[in-house]
Structure 1
Amino acid sequence: MSMRGARRSPTRRRLLAGGTALTLGLTALLAGNAATAATASDTTSGRGPGPAAVVFVDDFDGPAGAPVDSAKWRPDPGDNASNAELQYYTDGTQNAQLDGAGNLVITATPENAANHQCYYGTCQYTSARLNTAHTFAAEYGRVEARIKLPQGQGIWPAFWMLGTDFADVGWPASGEIDIMELVGHEPGTVHGTVHGPGYSGAEGIGSGYTLPGGASFADDFHTFAVDWTPDRLVWSVDGQVFHELTPADLGGDPWVFNKPFFMILNVAVGGHWPGPPDDTTSFPQRMVVDYVRVTTNG
């Protein structure tokens, strides 16, 4: 199924240019690593002739209980302002670790995180958020991950990207590409969306993909990808294209996706879009990531 320019509502805001410790911390991180991002974009732009090449890959090989490779990913601890989320993202292996079988496991679990004050009070859950803001930025290519997703009311996993100029221009001018999001009460449907100036928050432009036969994304691994070229984004699940976007689909609003972006993996709990967990939600919930890969277009 393919749909162009469809708007969905409601949606969420993971990063807002506001006065929170999370935003300030990420802003400082991005500002301090602007040179790193620029260098990465020079070598991963996918522009010009040449064969396709893998420019980033993580197969998450390592012993059980080990942290992610810090040369590729770093934890992004804190809460998430202005979105009614209920989790605190920790920075150790408590909520993000290798399983010893070639996977990264991000775990969301109930915890009275009394030492972690969230925007809406004391955090009720812990989880993890990892990004490549300080290690890798891509501009064009195929960005993909093979993931088994969690499910349940209030559970919200995502694989997404944010423009590396966030520190300078803020959100939504930085742009955001959501390669995959799932709200756990709809375990068989994922969403691909963009946010930018004039089409952010509830006005983000995207479309959904639903597995046939009532299957759930929690039942098995699936490959979520964006094929990204100048002035075009194409989303797919297991090779099935379900959404395409070009500047012509923005109704005159700015296209902010011809520049470097970094990657993010996380599992949120609660939030304006999924709502909070209820008595049908089981814990812990785990997002299991087999690999993340970025390939130039050649």
Structure 2
Amino acid sequence: MTSRLRALALLITGLLAMATLVAVQSPAQAAFGRLHLPTATPMAGVPFSITGQLESKVKRPVRLQQQRGSRWVTIARTTARRNQSFTFRGVVLRSDANLRAVARRFKAKVKLPKIVTKAVAVPVLVQRGRIAALPPVAQQGTTPSAPAEGPIVSAGFTPARPGRTVQLQQQRGGGWETVRTAPQDRSGYAVFEASAGKTYRAVTVAAGGAPAYTTDQVTAREWKPAFEDTFSGPTLNPALWQDQTESYSYDTGIRTCARQDPSVRAMTGETLELGIGYDTTRAGQNCHYTSAYGEGDSPYLLNTQVATQKSFTYRYGYVAARIRFAAPQGAHSCFWILPEGGKVPGDPARGAEVDVAEFFGEGGPRDAVGGFIHTLDSAGNNEKLGDLFKPTSLMKPTGDSWSTSYHVFSLEWTPQEYVFRVDGREFWRTSQRISQADEYLVLSMLTSNYELRYLTPETLAAKTSVDWVRVWKS
């Protein structure tokens, strides 16, 4: 073979070798990896899993590292699968953290380069607690009952860890003694009876890797109602309540087909029954209405609305009512307060409508109780703040419903804020649009235009039952 042919053969052999080498190494050259955020935000001290991917299709060790100052510290190890995925299990964090995954250089059939994923910021839920000393505003039950007496202490923790033990501790001498225990409910709350003049704190004990948490301390006090009605008489007490009677199209057309009338409420000797019904004075006539959901025709209807407008007002304190709501959609029940002098455009401090609890029927949005604040803008248009609050669906025992049991719905009103609660469990707190005016109480069952599409004979027969109403002034 001539020298020229030998050189050509060597060149071809070299090119073939290089092609083979590139073909083998190409997977390794794709040195890419990714660490995914957890599908749910982890809780402090509670093990969770975190996943990721590498583009090298071989089994190889992977480390999970946490940034601590200027260093990266390995906190978990695993092995990547041939399908490029990896999972770290049993990861525990105590606070928010920056994490990354690292696969070091690895020798398989070829040398695989080091892969370092981009760091991800992982938020961590750290349990926090709030404690409040309250009047007796927690009294869930299936039957009417005399109002509970004596103060209560309500302790709520977020995120909720249902079943985790909460200790109510009383200050004695220089220390603290556990006097009662209860499990956190589904909403993260535990509510306890207390003694006036005693100082308390709540401790949710360590469990499942999560550390204990101790709340601030509060002192319980005696509460004497400034207003109370247990509806135990044969008729509604006219010294306390007045029937409000508005004609059709009241509330600027929101209830075109209804008017208020005392004939659709009743007294049982234990409760006030709020109802709705047909207006027999307009039997056979149809009312045409419009709403955000369209328009239609409805019979003319009667609604219930009673108030203390001429007999009792208050400013600041706690107002509470023990209520069992009507179940069907098509009408809604509300416990609310209104300013004595009416709402003033552009000035919420001179009066706001505050809906302490509003329920639109089972099967409605989120099985939730609403809390709302209505004020007027400078042009006199209604401004609404609030919502149907999903957490309220967890503030009752499993299997319970708003229509099978009585629950206490309360509002704490100070010059700085409103706090809305169900059986002592807080579901909304706001410092916006706080009224500084005297307000009176209202109980109602109403059929608004937007609800008439749900109206059925079942709705017309339903009643909202009010067991008692109380006010404690600050």
- The question of a shared fold, defined as TM-score above 0.5 by the shorter chain, is answered with yes
Q: Is the contact made by 1:149 and 1:218 (CA closer than 8 Å) also made in structure 2?
A: yes
Structure having the higher Rg: 2
Deviation at 1:52, TM superposition (A): 3.7
How far the C-alpha of 1:111 sits from its partner, in A, is 3.8
Give the corresponding residue for 1:293.
470
Give the superposition deviation at 1:233: 0.6
Q: Compare the two structures and name the one with the higher strand fraction.
A: 2
1:251 is matched with none
Q: Which runs of 5+ in 1 are unaligned?
A: 1-49, 248-254
Aligned to 2:442: 264
Unaligned runs of 5+ in 2: 1-220, 290-296
SS of equivalent to 1:136? coil
Tell whether 2:390 aligns with 1:205.
no
Report the equivalent of 2:356. Answer: 179
The residue aligned with 1:99 is: 268
Distance across 1 between alignment mates of 2:286 and 2:259? 8
Which residue in 1 is equivalent to 2:239?
Answer: 71
Residues 92-241 of structure 1 aligned to structure 2 (within 5 Å): 94-100=263-269, 102-114=270-282, 124-166=300-342, 169=344, 173=348, 174-186=351-363, 188-198=367-377, 201=382, 203-208=384-389, 209-211=392-394, 213=398, 215-241=400-426
- Which amino acid in the other structure matches residue 270 of structure 1? S
SS at match of 1:166: coil
Check whether the contact 1:78–1:88 (CA below 8 A) recurs between aligned residues: yes
Q: Secondary structure at the match of 2:275?
A: strand
- Partners of 1:122 and 1:171 in 2: CA distance: 35
Equivalent residue, structure 2, for 1:58: 229
- Give the secondary-structure state (helix, strand or coil) at the position aligned to 1:283: helix
- Superposition CA RMSD, Å: 3.1
Given residue 278 of structure 2, which amino acid in structure 1 is its aligned partner?
A: P
The alpha-carbon deviation at position 87 of structure 1 amounts to 2.6
Aligned residue pairs: how many? 233
- Contact kept, 8 Å, 1:84 with 1:270, in 2: the verdict is yes
Distance between the aligned counterparts of 2:441 and 2:359, measured in 1? 17
Q: CA deviation at 1:198?
A: 4.4
8 Å CA contact 1:269, 1:276 repeated in 2: no
Change (3 A) 1:221 1:284: same
Supply the distance in 2 between the matched residues of 1:293 and 1:117 (Cα, whole angstroms).
40
1:246 aligned partner: 431
The Cα offsets for residues 91-110 of structure 1, whole Å up to 9 and x where unpaired, read as: 3xx2222102x211112123
Residue 279 of structure 1: how far off its partner (Å): 4.6
CA positional deviation for 1:195 = 1.6
Question: Could you tell me the TM-score, scaled by structure 1's length?
Answer: 0.68
Partner residue in 1 for 2:454:
277
CA contact (8 A) 1:152 1:280 kept: no
Match for residue 89 of structure 1? 260
| Contact 1:78 1:89 (C-alpha < 8 Å) held by counterparts | yes
Secondary structure in 2 matching 1:196: strand
1:191/1:214 CA distance change after superposition, 3 Å: farther
Separation of aligned partners in 1, 2:452 and 2:286: 19
Question: What's the TM-score, normalizing by structure 2?
Answer: 0.44
